[in-house]
Amino acid sequence: MQTRIYPLLGVLLVLGACGRPAPPPEHSGELVVGTRNSPASYYIDHNGEPAGFEHDLIQAFSDSQSWNLSWVEKNRPEALWEQVNLTRVHMAAAGLPLKVVESRKLKAGPVLYETPVLVVYRLAERKPRKISDLYGKRIGMIIGSGHTPMLMRLKRKHPELQWEALENVWPEELLVQLREGRYDAVVISGMDFDLSRKFFPELAVAFDFEETQKIVWAMPAHTSKAFIEKVRSFVAAAHQDGTIKRIHERYFGHVKRLDSTDIAGILQRRPQRLPQYRPYFQEAQILSGIDWRLLAAIGYQESQWDPNAVSPTGVRGLMMLTAQTADRMGVKNRLDPRQSIIGGARYLALLKDSLPPRISEPDRTWLALAAYNQGLGHLHDARRIAEARGGDPDSWIDVKQALPLLSRGGYTHVTRYGYARGFEALTFVENIRNYYDILLRLEPGFDPVHNLSREADPGSISDWNQAGVSASSPPI
């Protein structure tokens, strides 16, 4: 299906200026959705493509109905609600709590997922453990987040509780203000903090509220029963067939893996160590088609960008290659950072090309990373276990659950390569996903046509082709 993404100005001109209600998608063939820019709902990713949990789910709904899809982006809550009330959009998808939608007399779709509501504080300060610990503190929250009713109910029992409500602020800005000391604590949804925590190692969860928020889509009050039924049927099927679970895994499945020390480590070492190796990672991107920031994330996970790293098991170098892998990839000196990085990129590209063509991204990359850590044979064993357990051997969400079983026995009837520390491969992949997220945020992409700072060695490209490794693998 074709997806039309309007820039914000274009959206305002097309939909805002004319002010006409959106015709029913059953008649126009186009679903118009209101949203706000946030990591949990809708944003533009590093490839310039729309992304986000709710974006992917809405796209799947639109495709299921053979409709085109248009987005109206509004970053002020009231502006978004206005679009719904005036039926300029068919629905709003912006991390909307069920109780907030109901309070506005709008139609609520089925529950997509539930998120806790958190009190977040600075690690350098004394940790508040209960509501009374917030008395006299500067507390921040966002208008339109749905947290006001919760706080008002708490205030009946805790009259000394006070807070400041901010308008037109994204969750990340709220966290920035907490980090900078404007607030002593903030109230924020778990879904928003989980996707931002890797950028704020100074912050941590103090405690959760007792009640959670149920996240839904909002529809105009006079939405037709037929349209509401389409939404309900789709969401029910998406829960049943695992669509929601798979999309949730893509955006949320890895975000709690790192602790504050891990996050602080890469943030501190990035300006110290990465600059001298950046040209090698970018050269490796030219050869492999794999985003240099993903390769750098692997290098950090393996050695913290230390070209002289050596493990007790004999793997060594910045990308921690075994002697066998180094020989296979043509690496003469594993402690040479350029050779190590290019060898690691070659190996990952080879592993990706070795997987069945039907496996799509990003699962293809995550599975290849597991093979990078444990070997292709053990990865295929984990895929067989996933299938034996009723899962999809081509899906990372199912294989990641099977990997730890490689060390526990019980599946010898389907495995071929025996014992493996599959839990290490799981940790390896999930850590890299987090480090990659951080580098995507902090490091610019590399376009060799426009900003190639040094020519790749033609001999290395020739060697690459002689090794039988494709240099045109699609980037992740």
Structural domains of the chain ordered from first start: 8-108+216-252 (3.40.190.10), 117-211 (3.40.190.10), 260-466 (1.10.530.10)
Of all helices (H) and strands (E), which one includes residue 123?
none
pLDDT tens string, the chain, 476 residues long: the values are: 334 444 443 344 344 434 689 999 999 999 999 998 877 889 888 778 889 999 999 999 999 999 999 999 987 788 899 999 999 999 999 999 998 899 899 999 999 999 999 999 999 999 999 999 999 999 999 887 889 888 999 999 999 999 999 987 778 889 999 999 999 999 999 988 998 888 899 999 999 998 899 999 999 999 999 999 999 999 999 999 999 999 999 888 888 888 889 999 999 999 999 999 999 999 999 999 999 999 999 999 999 999 999 987 789 999 999 999 999 999 999 999 999 999 999 999 999 999 999 999 999 999 999 999 999 999 999 999 999 999 999 999 999 999 999 988 778 888 898 888 899 999 999 999 999 999 999 999 998 876 654 444 434 433 433 333 333 333 45
Q: What is the pLDDT of residue 138?
A: 97
Q: What is the rounded distance in angstroms from the CA atom of residue 351 to the CA atom of residue 371? A: 7
Token pair recorded at residue 383 = 């895929």
Token pair recorded at residue 62 = 């639109």
Q: What is the pLDDT of residue 3?
A: 42
How many secondary structure helices (H) and strands (E) does the chain include? 20, 13
Q: What DSSP designation does 134 have?
A: G
Token pair recorded at residue 203 = 């912050």
Alpha-helical (H) ranges within 241-336 are 243-252, 260-288, 292-303, 323-328
Question: At 19, which amino acid appears?
Answer: G
Q: Do the beta carbons of residue 79 and residue 154 sit within 8 Å?
A: no
Catalytically active residues are 302
Give the other-Cβ count within 10 Å of 225's Cβ.
Answer: 8
Phi, psi angle pair for 91, to nearest 5°: -165, 165
Q: What is the rounded distance in angstroms from the CA atom of residue 316 to the CA atom of residue 334? A: 6
Q: What is the pLDDT of residue 464?
A: 39
Please, what's the b/e burial string for 87-114 (b: 16 or more CB within 10 A of its CB; e: otherwise)?
A: bbbbbbbbbbbbbbbeeeebbbbbebbe
Separation of CA 316 from chain center? 30
